[in-house]
C-alpha cells in the first residue's frame, strides 16, 4: 500500500491533491461528442418525471446532499429534501405522489442508507445511487447509478468523494433543467474546468494553510466555522473534517443563528473560521464575524475574489456561484489535515472511526 501512496505521507493528503484531476475526469466522463452532457436516458427520465426528490445520505455525503438540494432546486426547479439516512429510516416524512430517491454514498455500503433503500423499494419508489463504487450494494440495489469517478478513497476522512459528488449533482441538475426545456446559461462542464484550476491554487500552495493550522489550532480546544446559505453547508463539512481527524471540538453554524445561542461559546482566542463566497450573503457574514471578534474570537476569513477585503486570510479564485463549495472546502480539508498532523493524530485512521459504517 506504500506504493499506492507514492511519495505522500498520508492517503488523505494524496486524495486532497487528486481533486483537480478528479473533477477533470468527471468532465470527460460526462461529456458527449458534441460537448453536451452524457447521461443515461433512463436516468434523465427518472429525475425529470419526479415531483420531488429525496436525497438520503450520511456524514460527508449528507453534506454534499445539502448542496445538491440547492443545485437541483435552483437549477432544475424540482423540490428537494435532504435527509440523514438514520433519521429517515425511523421517522419517514410524508412523501409526494411521484418521488425519486437519490442515495449519495462514497462506499455504497452504508447500512443506514441501505435501510432506507430497502424500505422505499418496498413502497415501489424510484431509486438512484450516486456512488464512487459502482458494484457496491447501494448501486446494485437501486434502479439507477451515477458514478462519481473519484478513484479509490482510502483515508477515513472523505475529501475527493465529496467534491466529486457535488460535481455530479451539478451536472445532473443542469441536464434535468435542459431536458425540461429550461433556459440555461450555466454550462457545468465548462465551469467545472474553472473549478479544477481554482482548486490547484490551494493544492499547490499548502504552506499558507499549514501556517493557519499551526497558528489557530495547535492548542485550541474548539473551533467554529460560520457561513450562510451554500457556505453554511461547507462549514458543516469543514467542521466534520476537523473533528474526525484532529479531535478538536468543531461546529459549523449558520451565521445568522449565532446570536440565538452559539455566540455564548465565544471566548478570548476562540478560533472562528468564516466563509463568505456567496454574493447575496457575504456582507451579512462579515457582520457576524465582527460580532464574534467583539467577543474575543480569533478570526480567519475565507473569501472569494470579487468579494475580498484586506484582512482576509484566505482568498479563493472566482468560480461560479453554484460551484463555490467544491473550491472553498479545499482550504478546510488542508487546515484539518495540518491541524491533525501538528497534534500528532493518526490522520488516515482516526480513533473510533471506520471507513464505511456497515452496521446500523
Residues that bind ligand AGP (CB under 6 A): 58-61, 105-107, 110, 113, 156-158, 244, 353, 356-357
Tell the smallest beta-carbon distance from residue 107 to ligand AGP (Å). 3
**Residue, CB closest to ligand AGP:** 59
Strands 222-227 and 249-254: parallel
> In this complex, which beta carbon is closest to ligand AGP, that of residue 244 or of residue 312?
244
Strand partners, 130: 104, 146
Q: Give the cell for residue 87.
A: 433519521
Q: Is 56 or 276 the residue whose CB approaches ligand AGP more closely?
A: 56
Closest by Cα among 196, 194, 111, 106 to 151 = 106
- Contacts of 198 by beta carbon, 8 Å cutoff, 6+ apart: 316, 317, 318, 319, 327
Distance in Å, CB of 179 to ligand AGP, minimum: 27
Q: Which residue has the cell 480539508?
A: 333
* Beta partners for residue 275, in sequence order: 302
Integer angstrom CA distances of residue 46 from 13, 39, 125, 172, 276: 37, 12, 11, 11, 35
Of 263 and 357, which CB lies nearer to ligand AGP in the complex structure?
357
Closer CB to ligand AGP, 155 or 297, in the complex: 155
Choice among 31, 74, 349, 355 that is catalytic? 355
Nearest approach, Cβ of 133 to ligand AGP (angstroms)? 8
Question: Which residues lie closer than 8 Å to 257 by C-beta, 6 or more apart?
Answer: none
Per the CB < 8 A criterion, the answer to whether 272 and 299 are in contact is yes
Examine the residue annotation and report whether 355 is marked as an active-site residue of this protein.
yes
Q: Is the dihedral of CA 81, 86, 91, 94 positive or negative?
A: positive
Quote the least distance from Cβ 353 to ligand AGP, whole Å. 6
Q: Environment class of residue 335 by beta-carbon count within 10 Å: exposed (0-12), middle (13-18) or buried (19+)?
A: buried
Choice between 48 and 356, CB closer to ligand AGP: 356
Minimum Å gap between C-beta 65 and ligand AGP is: 10
Q: Which residues are catalytic?
A: 355
Amino acid at each position: 500500500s506504500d506504493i499506492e501512496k507514492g511519495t505522500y505521507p498520508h492517503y488523505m493528503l494524496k486524495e486532497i491533491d487528486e481533486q483537480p484531476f478528479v473533477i477533470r475526469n468527471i468532465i470527460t466522463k460526462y461529456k458527449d461528442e458534441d460537448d453536451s452532457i452524457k447521461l443515461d436516458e433512463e436516468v434523465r427520465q427518472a429525475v425529470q418525471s419526479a415531483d420531488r426528490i429525496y436525497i438520503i445520505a450520511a456524514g460527508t455525503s449528507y453534506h454534499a446532499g445539502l448542496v445538491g438540494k440547492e443545485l437541483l432546486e435552483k437549477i432544475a426547479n424540482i423540490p428537494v429534501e435532504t435527509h440523514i439516512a438514520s433519521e429517515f429510516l425511523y421517522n419517514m416524512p410524508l412523501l409526494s405522489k411521484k418521488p425519486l430517491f437519490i442515495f449519495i454514498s462514497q462506499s455504497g455500503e452504508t447500512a443506514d442508507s441501505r435501510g432506507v433503500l430497502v424500505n422505499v423499494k418496498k413502497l415501489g419508489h424510484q431509486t438512484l445511487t450516486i456512488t464512487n463504487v459502482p458494484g457496491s450494494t447501494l448501486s446494485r440495489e437501486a434502479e439507477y447509478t451515477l458514478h462519481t469517478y473519484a478513484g479509490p478513497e482510502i483515508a477515513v476522512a472523505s475529501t475527493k468523494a465529496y467534491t466529486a459528488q457535488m460535481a455530479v449533482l451539478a451536472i445532473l441538475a443542469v441536464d434535468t433543467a435542459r431536458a425540461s426545456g429550461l433556459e440555461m446559461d450555466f454550462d457545468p462542464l465548462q465551469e467545472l474546468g474553472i473549478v479544477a484550476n481554482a482548486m490547484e491554487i490551494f493544492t499547490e500552495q499548502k504552506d499558507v494553510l499549514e501556517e493557519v493550522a499551526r497558528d489557530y489550532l495547535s492548542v485550541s480546544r474548539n473551533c467554529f466555522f460560520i457561513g450562510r446559505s451554500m457556505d453554511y453547508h461547507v462549514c458543516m463539512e469543514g467542521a466534520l473534517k476537523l473533528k474526525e481527524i484532529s479531535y478538536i471540538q468543531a461546529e459549523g453554524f449558520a451565521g445568522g443563528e449565532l446570536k440565538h445561542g452559539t455566540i455564548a461559546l465565544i471566548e478570548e482566542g476562540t478560533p472562528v473560521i468564516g466563509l463568505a463566497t456567496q454574493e447575496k450573503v457575504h456582507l451579512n457574514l462579515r457582520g457576524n464575524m465582527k460580532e464574534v471578534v467583539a467577543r474575543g474570537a480569533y478570526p480567519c476569513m475565507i473569501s472569494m475574489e470579487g468579494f475580498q477585503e484586506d484582512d482576509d486570510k484566505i482568498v479563493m479564485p472566482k468560480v461560479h456561484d453554484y460551484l463555490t463549495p467544491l473550491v472553498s472546502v479545499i482550504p478546510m480539508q488542508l487546515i484539518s489535515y495540518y491541524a491533525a498532523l501538528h497534534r500528532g493524530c493518526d490522520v488516515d485512521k482516526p480513533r473510533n472511526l471506520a471507513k464505511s459504517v456497515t452496521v446500523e
